[in-house]
Structure 1
Amino acid sequence: MSIALAVLLLVAPAVAFAQPPVERARALIATYHEDPHRIDEARDLLEDAITRERPADAVTLLSRIYFLAGEVRATTDDDKLAAFGRGRDLGKLALEIAPRSEDAHVWYALNLGRWGQSKGMMRSLFLLPTIREELDTIFSINPRSVRGHALAGNLFFELPGMLGGDRKKAEEHFRKGIEADPHFTVLRLDLARLLVAEGRIAEARRELERVANETAPTNVADWTARDRPRARTRLDELRDRK
């Protein structure tokens, strides 16, 4: 074995170990479709890291990871509530550190909304003003925020009309998000859900087929583990619908 190769073999593990926790956590959640336990590993890694210091990127990413844990790893209502609640608190902390961070506002709002849903309808309604304020801030920072448009679209779609629900506005937000990132596949699923509710089945199928046949998804892990299976299931359900 050459001296150079021996040195490389000795140094490589140390370099990997020295990788910043935020980068290691990002790499873990980017491949959670290969092993969902990587979400837990990323969570534990950053929980440990922020006991020493709390940079905005670490706190924001941890808020995102808790949202993912609530969506993917939680198996009971209590687990979901705990995950979204921790994600909400971390999102709020991230806002205190970086008030103009789009991602901090996004993950705070998303966790807050899902936490409210887990608590029940009345709690969700109580949180509406805060979520709307967060959306206003997100779009003031970045009018093309993909996740912001996803959140706004779902809000307008799911709310009853008397509380501000508006399917036309929901569709506008979904399409704006898709225009900003055509490969953000969950937005096409959201749009397809709205189109089905509107009786526009052929249009819904086209969106679902785009998801099922996507070749360059923005988020490979989400597409592989969640979006593509959901699209295929929904296409099967719509097979005989006109």
Structure 2
Amino acid sequence: MNAPKKCLCLLGLALCLALAGAAAAGPAEQIKQADALYVQRADLAKAQQAAELYQQALQADPKSEEAAWKLARALYWVGNHAAKDKQVEIFDRAVKAGQQAVAINPQSLPGHFWLGVAYGVYGNAKGVLKSLSLVNPIKQEMALVIKMDPGYEAGGAYRVLGRLYFKLPGLFGGDNDLAIKNLRTAVAKGPKRYLSHIYLAEVLIKEGQEDAARKYLQMVVSGPADPGFEPEDKEWKATAQKMLKGL
């Protein structure tokens, strides 16, 4: 066996042994190990390993709300970085994990949030017109999040609603004014969660308000990272820079 092939085999063996060792641990330890891997999600392989460990923890303890919503969150990241033809399958798993979280605990704040997010990305992957049945469930999940904690995930529920109103065709409830209103609220509640700024800039550009859009995009490029969201921040800044060049 040549050296490169031998190296790949050893790496594969090491990964299998690591996952096998994690499987032998209890659910709490599996979640702890998955959390450590998720912090390193900029490396997609680490994010995938985290998702697998959350899945193992949930299988070991089907009543673990924490494992369920964290699985949905990890699959959201993995799916957003997967090939297009894999996204529906991955996001479907995220939906199921979110559904399990809220079935375990109907008052699960992260469960409702990540279920609503999963519905959104699943619908987007399938195609908006094929997923109109998900509009009301998304709104319902976000309404619950706002009722429990309007500032959760840096105004995340408003960010999801703003994106929903922007992406929907007008005939089916799309409304750029409502999109702008919700996204401005999200920006106010999460001034460093720059995905809200990017979404808001997209709507403003669509409405011909390029100067206002430029202001929000410049905030993304020059602003400090939201602690714990460094992998996302790097991507958001790259997106904002690309959008600015197009203005």
TM-score of the alignment, normalized to the shorter chain, above 0.5: yes
Equivalent position of 2:136 in the other structure: 129
Unaligned runs of 5+ in 1: 1-16
User: Any idea what SS the aligned residue of 1:99 has?
Assistant: coil
- Pair 1:116-2:116 in alignment: no
* Contact 1:116 1:123 (8 Å CA) reproduced: yes
The CA deviation at 1:199 is 1.1
**Does the CA-based 8 Å contact 1:178-1:188 persist in structure 2?**
yes
The question of 1:209 aligning with 2:227 is answered no
Q: Secondary structure at the match of 2:60?
A: coil
Q: Which residue of 2 aligns with 1:190?
A: 199
**For each residue in 1:2-56, what CA deviation from the matched residue of structure 2 results, as whole angstroms up to 9, or x when unmatched?**
xxxxxxxxxxxxxxx99833333233222322x2211111012112222211311
Match of 1:227? 236
Q: Is the 8 A contact 1:30 1:220 kept in 2?
A: no
2:168 equivalent in structure 1: 159
For 1:133 and 1:221, locate their aligned partners in 2 and report how far apart those are by CA, in whole Å.
29
Q: Alignment identity in percent?
A: 26
CA distance in 1, matches of 2:113, 2:105: 12
Please give the TM-score of this superposition, normalised by the length of structure 2.
0.82
Native 8 Å contact 2:38 2:47 kept in 1: yes
User: Which residue, out of 70, 77, 82, partners 1:68?
Assistant: 77
1:52 to 53, 57, 60: 60
Number of matched pairs: 218
Aligned alpha-carbon RMSD (Å) = 1.8
User: RCO (CA 8 Å, sep 6+): is it higher in 1 or 2?
Assistant: 1
- 1:91 counterpart = 2:101: no
Q: CA deviation at 1:93?
A: 0.4
- Aligned counterparts, 1:10-25, within 5 A: 20-25=29-34
Unaligned runs of 5+ in 2: 1-24
How many angstroms apart in 1 are the aligned matches of 2:101 and 2:129? 27
- 1:160-217 CA-to-partner distances (Å, cap 9, x unmatched) read 2232222121111111111111100111111111111111111111111111112232
How far 1:105 sits from its partner (Å)? 0.9
